[in-house]
Structure 1
Amino acid sequence: MIEVKNISKQYGRKIVLDGVDLQFPIGKITSLIGSNGAGKSTLLSIVSRLLAQDGGVVTVDGKNVSDYKNKVLAQRLSILKQSNHIRLKLTVRELVSFGRFPYSQDKLTDEDNEKVDRAIRFLDLKDIENAYIDELSGGQKQRAYMAMVVAQDTEYVLLDEPLNNLDMRHSVQTMKTLRRLADEWNKTIIIVLHDINFASHYSDYIVALKDGKVKYCDTTDNIINEKVLEDVFDIAINVSEFNQKKVCNYFM
């Protein structure tokens, strides 16, 4: 389990995170929501050790995340950031193979190749596995990066706004993939989302951040109500918009 204990982060006089305490349930999807500047991406970066906190502790399976060797942590936890810029001329398969680096470095074993094959099939990339990344559409690139994370085969998967710049169809495809990873592979997924529709339809739990604090943390059904969302976002919200029976069929 990933636990966050009294995490704080500050830039100058600006407090970004202020005493955040959380536990992320195993095998479930937890979405981090909140307005811009609420601290969502900062928290995700601290959990993944990409950013140092000013105070508090993050533990992964009971061990302080700062005590892990890089290779060992990369076998437990993977992260997909908002923007990914690889300037090398790589095929889809070569990119997905990077997910196995924490295990075999640059010498892939038969097991590694099996993991790569499985990830490519899981993301339905077999027909373009030899295509170059820079020749793909935005949706195809996102699937390729997702496959790289799947090939890494960590228990914990962290994603920072993976739906950015994706159209509705590819956004739904991405969220359905994450749902399958949790349900079929028992992955623990922590995801930063701006779209409340997607959070309401695919999350098991939602953490609502506001002004650097955890304002609410509960099951999705208990978070998606007008009182909570209006408090988090400071705007009037009609929760009927998030009712599964009233949204477009893309979500089904």
Structure 2
Amino acid sequence: MITLDGVRRNYSNEVAIGPLDLTIPAGGVTALIGPNGAGKSTLLTMIGRLMGMDSGAIAIAGNDVARTPSKHLARIVSILRQENHFITRLTVRQLVGFGRFPYSKGRLTVDDEKIISQAIDFLHLQDLEGRYLDELSGGQRQRAYVAMVLAQDTEYVLLDEPLNNLDMRHGVQMMQHLRRAAEELGRTIVIVLHDINFAARYADRICAMKNGAIVEFGTPQEIMQDDVLTRVFDTPVQVIDGPHGPLAVYY
């Protein structure tokens, strides 16, 4: 379980995120949605301790994020930010191997190599593992980054817009992979998404943010309502019955 208690981040006297109070149950997929600038990425990076809080407390599986030693926290939670700055002359396998650093400290064991291979196989990257990152498409690189995070082998996985650079087909495949990771690998996945329909289809819970505050939290059925989405996004949204659940129409 992830808990936030009075979490606040101040950017200026006029701009702040929070205070945020939230409980994300263990297991499944929780999607963070909302308009640009709502605070989704800030929330995610504070949970992953890549950004500090000005007040409040965050705990992951009972571990205080601000006080837990980094080497211990890295075995509990992994995070993929939007901005990735790895050297492009790494191969896919070398990149995924970075996910094992909290365990191997750079000296990969046989067990590490096995987990790396499993992550590569899980994201269907077997044919690309010897290729360099600068030889890949944006979507292929994105899959490699997600494989790196899965190789870290943490129960909690935080992903900031992992569908960036993915076309329709590969976006669907990525969400299917993440759904499988939650169900088959027992991961708790918290993911920032721009596409509300992906959230409705693949998430167990949706957390909607607006103007630095959490304004809605519930199941897809509870969030996928005309009035709720219209209020969150400040634009008319109609929810219709689709072949696999509710669909938001807003164009």
Q: State if a TM-score over 0.5 links the two structures.
A: yes
Give distance in 1, aligned partners of 2:101 and 2:31: 28
CA distance in 1, matches of 2:170, 2:45: 25
Q: Which AA in structure 2 matches 1:76?
A: I
1:222 counterpart residue number: 222
The count of corresponding residues between Structure 1 and Structure 2 is 247
Residue 227 of structure 1, CA deviation:
1.1
Deviation at 1:12, TM superposition (A): 1.2
Q: How does 1:174-213 map to 2 (within 5 A)?
A: 174-213=174-213
TM-score in terms of structure 1 length: 0.94
**Letter matched to residue 212 of structure 1:** G
Residues 1-252 of structure 1 mapped to structure 2, 5 A cutoff: 1-240=1-240, 244=244
Write out the 4+ residue segments of structure 1 that deviate beyond 6 Å after TM superposition. Answer: none
Identity of aligned residues (%): 51
C-alpha distance in 1 between matches for 2:47 and 2:243: 32
Unaligned ranges ≥5, structure 2? none
* Structure (1 or 2) with the greater helix fraction: 1
CA RMSD of aligned residues (A): 1.5
Structure 1 residue 83, shift from structure 2 partner: 2.1
Unpaired runs of 5+ residues, structure 1, are 248-252
* Segment of structure 1 superposing worse, 179-188 or 160-169: 160-169
Choose 92-101 or 6-15, whichever is displaced more: 6-15
CA distance in 2, matches of 1:243, 1:212: 34
TM-score with structure 2 length normalisation?
Answer: 0.94
Shift of 1:150: 1.1
User: SS at 1:7's partner residue?
Assistant: strand
Deviations 1:83-105 (A, max 9, x none): 21212511111111000000011
Q: Give distance in 2, aligned partners of 1:164 and 1:64.
A: 31
Letter in structure 2 aligned against 1:38: A
Q: Is the 8 A contact 2:2 2:23 kept in 1?
A: yes
SS across alignment from 1:174: helix
Contact 1:3 1:58 in 2 (8 A): yes
